[in-house]
Amino acid sequence: MTTVLTTAVGFVVTGDWKALLYGRGPPYEEFEENADPEQHFQALLSLAQEGIQKGKVVPIGECGLDYDRLHFCPAEIQKKYFEKQFELAYAIKLPMFLHMRAAAEDFLEIVECNRDKFIAGVTHSFTGSVEDCDKLLSFNNMYIGVNGCSLKMIENLNVVKGIPVERMMIETDSPYCEIKNTHAGINFVKSLWPSKKKEKYDQDCIVKGQNEPCLVRQLLEVVAGCKGVNDIDQISKTIYRNTCRVFFPHDLDSADDALLAGCHDS
C-alpha cells in the first residue's frame, strides 16, 4: 500500500530524473487509521509542497472512487476523503488525476459539488457510459483518459468514438491494462513488438504478458480506428498538447497553446 512514508521514499528513488514521476494511489483508510485525520491531511499537504519544489509532484492523485473492490475500503469512507482531496489540490493549485470505477453516480456528484475547487485534470482508465462521459466533459478542463480497459467491448469503442480528441488523453497504465486479443479494440491494432518471457529477458523485446510504455502507440491506433481517422500523427500531437496543457504547461509553447485553444473554439 502507498503511504506518506513510501511516497517520500519515491521522491528519493526518482532522484534527478525529470521525466520520471512517482504515483501515489488513494488509500483513504490511512485517514481513518490516523488518530488525527487533519494532521494526516497536513502531512500530505507538506509532502505535496515539497514535491512541487523538487519538480516531482505534477498532479494530486490518484483520487476517486472504486466500488469494484469495497473490501479494501468502504464506500462511505471513500466518499468522505475523496472530497478532502479536492481541498488538497485546490490548496496547492494542482490538477487532479482521477479514478472512477463502478461508482459513476457518486463520483460525478462529488465532482459537481467541488467543481469550484477543481482546476483541471483527467479521469483515467475510463470505462463509463456515454452519459457519464458527457457529464465529465461538462466540467471545465476535465479530460478523459483512455487505456486498454477502455477498449474491451464494442460499447466501449462507441464511447471512445464520441470523446473529442481535444478532451482526451491516453495511457498504458502499465504493467496492467493492456489491449488483449479478446478486446474489441484489438482489430485496430497495427503495431506489434517481439516479446519474450521475463525469465528470458531481452532488452530488444517487451516482456510477454506485461503492458509496457511503448504500447501506447496501440492506443493511438485504436482511437484513430474508432474515429475513422487515418492521420494518427495529428491525433498524437493533439493528445500530447492536452497532456502538456494540464500537467506540463512549461513544455507547451505559446503557438501550440493557441492552436489548442482554436480546436476548442471550433
pLDDT value at position 12?
43
Per the CB < 8 A criterion, the answer to whether 252 and 241 are in contact is yes
Q: How many CA atoms lie within 13 A of 211 on its CB side?
A: 17
* 10-residue mean pLDDT series, the chain (266 residues): 47 49 54 71 85 81 92 92 92 94 98 96 98 97 98 98 98 95 98 96 95 97 97 93 90 61 55
Phi, psi torsion values for 47, nearest 5 degrees? -65, -40
- In DSSP notation, the chain reads ---HHHHHHHHHHHTT-TT--------THHHHHSS-HHHHHHHHHHHHHHHHHTT---SEEEEEEEGGGTTTS-HHHHHHHHHHHHHHHHHHT--EEEEEES-HHHHHHHHHHTGGG---EEEES----HHHHHHHHTSTTEEEEE-GGGGSSHHHHHHHHHS-GGGEEE---TTS----TTSGGGGG------EE-GGG--TTSEETT---GGGHHHHHHHHHHHHT---HHHHHHHHHHHHHHHH-GGGS-HHHHHHHHHHHH-
What is the C-alpha end-to-end distance of the chain, expressed in Å? 44
> At which residue does the C-alpha cell 469503442 appear?
157
Strand 168-170 relative to strand 142-146, pairing: parallel
pLDDT value at position 48?
83
Distance of alpha carbon 149 from alpha carbon 126, whole angstroms: 8
Per the CB < 8 A criterion, the answer to whether 197 and 208 are in contact is yes
Handedness of CA 41, 43, 49, 51 (dihedral sign): negative
pLDDT value at position 13?
41
**Domain range summary for the chain, segments of one domain joined by +:** 160-266
Handedness of CA 193, 194, 196, 198 (dihedral sign): negative
pLDDT value at position 243?
93
pLDDT value at position 10?
47
Per the CB < 8 A criterion, the answer to whether 212 and 172 are in contact is yes
> At which residue does the C-alpha cell 481513518 appear?
32
